[in-house]
Amino acid sequence: MLESLRAYPRALWMMALSVTISAIGESFLWPLTTAYIETFGKTLTAAGTVLLCQYATMLLGNLAGGWLFDRWSGRKTLVLSITAAMLILLAMGTWRSFPLYVGLLIVLGFCQGTFWPIQRALSTVIWPSGGRRAINMIYVANNLGVAVGAATGGVLASHSFSMAFYGNALSYLLFLAIFMSNVSESHVQTAKSTKPGSASPSGAAPKVKRETWVALWLLTIGLGLMVVTYSQWQTTMSMYVQSTGISLSSYSVLWTVNGLVIVLLQPLLSWCIRTYSWSLQTQILIAAGLFALAMTTVMFWPSYAGFVIGMVILTMGEMLAWPGVPALAAEMAVPGREGMFQGIVTSGQSAGRMVGPLFGAFLFEAASAQGMIGFMIVLCVVAAVFFLIYNKFGSKKSFSVPRNFDV
């Protein structure tokens, strides 16, 4: 165990630490966004509309971040977007105005959407031989930060919402200090140049095959469908839980279970992957099955025990899917297009977060909780089909080599 941990490069450890710190700060705010909007006297519908706009710009940021990683500089893009986000948060904490807050929140969504895919892409570039382990490390680091931040964010906000904004800004400042002192531009460029299949000195990059694009979008859409299902646990499921006579405070405990499962069962899932030699495709297929099983559990067992078991199952699926699909995208990525591949995959997650709450609420009201859950099970099955067939379009060699490409 210790030997395997020593194989991780120091730069990746430092990057994971910075991701944990930034996630702590981000988690000060995201659970409280709706509550803060309500302090302006706005309705839940208004809050939902604002969040929809934020997720839309986040999606655009995912694509922009991936493109800039490949075409300009991943490190510089990350530093600029984090700096811009930090300044926006300081402005949010200083001036209280609803129109200003909405405008800043939308721009903040773009900035955050820009640096999230870059974090994943950098992990694969810093440790090319790490494969799924590099991306999984960033995933675990992010969830560790979420667990700590969600637990302390409410305490800050209880004193003042401005404290939560300033806390998030401080976390980004610490992120920059750690990241810039441990990951240099030359470090990244050296890592890129040593990747197998790197672009030739003349600058000619391998051309992505059409089949690879199809495979990548099948993975992205499948991931988006799973995020739509997952988002119901953050939104409509709270109404379903309360309709069974369970208190809202008991529902909140489910997310404590989520964090504990991620921390405690990570070694077990890693052991399963090693022992049974699960491929990444097998990993995400199992994840889709676990998501469907979790929804089936709460459909036929609408008690608190059923919701707890459902959350445990869902979290195990999350632990396989969230790092699994980006890891597959990293394997498929053409040298010099790592950022774009991660940006596209991340945009699938943003799209799921954008449409999931509104779509789920519509189904909940139009077809009841049972109908909504049943439809989510269908989405999981569709996602599994996409995960099953994506490699029928892709190929082991996902790019063609131009004539002036030195092999």
pLDDT value of position 187: 59
The residue type of 248 is L
User: Which sign does the torsion angle of CA 342, 344, 350, 356 carry?
Assistant: negative
Q: What is the pLDDT along the chain (407 residues), one digit of tens a residue?
A: 556 667 788 889 999 999 999 999 988 887 677 778 878 988 767 877 888 899 899 999 999 999 999 888 888 999 999 999 999 999 999 999 999 999 999 999 999 999 888 988 888 888 887 777 888 889 889 888 887 887 677 677 777 889 989 999 999 999 999 999 988 776 566 555 555 555 544 455 578 888 899 999 999 999 999 999 999 998 888 888 888 888 767 777 787 788 789 878 988 988 998 899 899 999 999 999 999 999 999 999 989 999 999 999 999 999 999 999 999 998 888 888 888 999 999 999 999 998 988 888 889 888 888 999 999 999 999 999 999 999 887 544 444 433 332 22
Residues 6+ apart with CB under 8 A from 239: 364, 369
Which SS3 state, helix, strand or coil, does residue 207 take?
A: strand
Q: How far apart are CA 147 and CA 138, in angstroms?
A: 14
Element (H, E) at 399: strand 399-400
* pLDDT for the residue 192: 59
What is the distance between the alpha carbons of residues 91 and 106, in angstroms, rounded to a whole number? 13
**Which alpha helices (DSSP H) does 183-209 contain, by range?**
185-193
pLDDT (0 to 100) of residue 401: 35
DSSP category for residue 302: -
- The backbone torsions φ and ψ at residue 400, rounded to the nearest 5 degrees and listed phi first, read -105, 150
For residue 320, the cross-strand partners are none
Domains along the chain with CATH numbers: 10-180 (1.20.1250.20), 209-395 (1.20.1250.20)
Give the separation between CA 321 and CA 352, rounded to whole angstroms: 14
**Angle subtended at Cα 384 by Cα 383 and Cα 385, rounded to the nearest 5 degrees:** 90
Question: Which SS3 state, helix, strand or coil, does residue 118 take?
Answer: helix
pTM: 0.83
What Rg do the C-alpha atoms of the chain give, in angstroms?
A: 21
Question: Distance (Å, rounded) from C-alpha 322 to C-alpha 135?
Answer: 9
For the chain, helix, strand, coil in percent to 5 are: 85, 0, 15
